[in-house]
Structure 1
Amino acid sequence: MPGSPWIAAALAVFAWWASTGAILVATRRAERTGRPARAVLLATPVMALGIAGFLWSAGRTDVIAVYAAAASALAVWGWIELAFLAGVITGPSRMPAKPGVPEWERFIRAWGTVAYHEMALTGAFIALAMLSHGAANRFGLWVFAILYVARISAKLNLYLGVRKVNTEFIPRHLSHLPSHFREARINWLFPTSVTGLSFAAFAWSERAIAAALPAEAVGFALLAALTALALLEHWFMVVRLPDEKLWRWMLPKRQEMMEEGPDAVR
């Protein structure tokens, strides 16, 4: 049944896996062809559909509208992430980290590598908040908010230091990014991050269970599942599990790309 919170949670997990895989495939294809801007341009209709779906679903409170709101928020988010990984929206600095600099300078240099991306995400968040102000259905905004907060938290944890830094899916044109990460057993922010995400996942779950309407149960179940996935991604940074295998099988190997050359795909 589409109104089941369990089905909603399962669909959220699938959407997380599928959307991440689609972004990685598009990014690898852009790296393979040497046309990152073209990949982002071809994905622009997805962004447009996301905005249209967000506006359409904002005034509706049925189950389908809740799913549409969540999917629309994911579409907007995914386009910005693709633009970042394709190297179109990154930051003014494309230089590796400079060793031995003071912490404040290290932070500024790291910020410079992702500044435009963070500004784009913040601008999109503000725009969606304005578009959905006073709307009956704001689940799309909450989906984007979860992704936004979780991404900032993840980036800060990578900057401060985590046990596992996975750089396998970072494209070559962003090879300077890992130099701004730090490996460490734990940092002061990580306990706060996982505690906050755990509390949020519990709160969303409680709201889903107590919801009086199917649409509310579905919406809060989607939020609970996405928050739990964000929590899981944080734990992947300190627990050495081969989570990259979830997507590695669908990507062309870089060695094969080098042998085929940029003209292999048109």
Structure 2
Amino acid sequence: MPTDAPQPSFVLIRPQMGENIGAAARAMWNFGLDRMRIVAPRDGWPNPAADALASGAGRLLDEAEVSDDVASGIADRTYVYATTARPRELTKPVFSPEAAMADAAARIGRGEKVAVMFGPERSGMENADIAHANAIITVPVNPEFPSLNLAQCVLLVGYEWRRAVEAAPDMVMQGQTIDAADQRDIEALARHYEDRLEEAGFFYPDHKADSMKVNLRNLWSRMALTRADTQMLHGVLRQLLRGKTK
């Protein structure tokens, strides 16, 4: 059964190869989308060639809604986007994928039923298809090579959908020992190195010693050290000194 998560339907218009339909299903499920619709598939439906490329997303193929024409495929939708890489003479709002999916999330939040149409692999949708849409999604691709594979386009729009509905940090630190060193850890490390370097005569000449110590202390402060890092650096210094005394 489809998930309960509110989401747009992804409508594949006259897809030509079962493998691309399967890859599109996989791309959809990567981002939690499972409402696939297929309009007039060239090789009929079901298509065994789609199963291998779905790679774990076969349920989407089993539950896909199949229609004979575009009008039937989107009949129950209240707002429809059409993806295209080529400029069109039709007068419509043109969104980037990011803006389109933010708009789609807002519309779905208001109770609207949204669909995104994707054209055939070889030439994309015809103007007659796009005339059914309320808006266009255009990807800023290389103008000398604008054509995207069907699954690539589905993946790109699916990614932007996920970004629109699920906040994600721009960067997180991962690992087994990620606890940040606090100021006591940093101070102990700085003092350890300063004392040992003092004993080794590193701070020379005397009139530069204070500024050298400040610069060294500032070095530790600039580093994003974990507690594990400070423990290792203490150990490094102890081992170096132990080797010197042997």
Instruction: Give the greater-gyration-radius structure (CA).
Output: 2
**TM-score relative to the length of structure 2:** 0.22
Name the structure where strand makes up a greater proportion of residues.
2
Name the structure where helix makes up a greater proportion of residues.
1
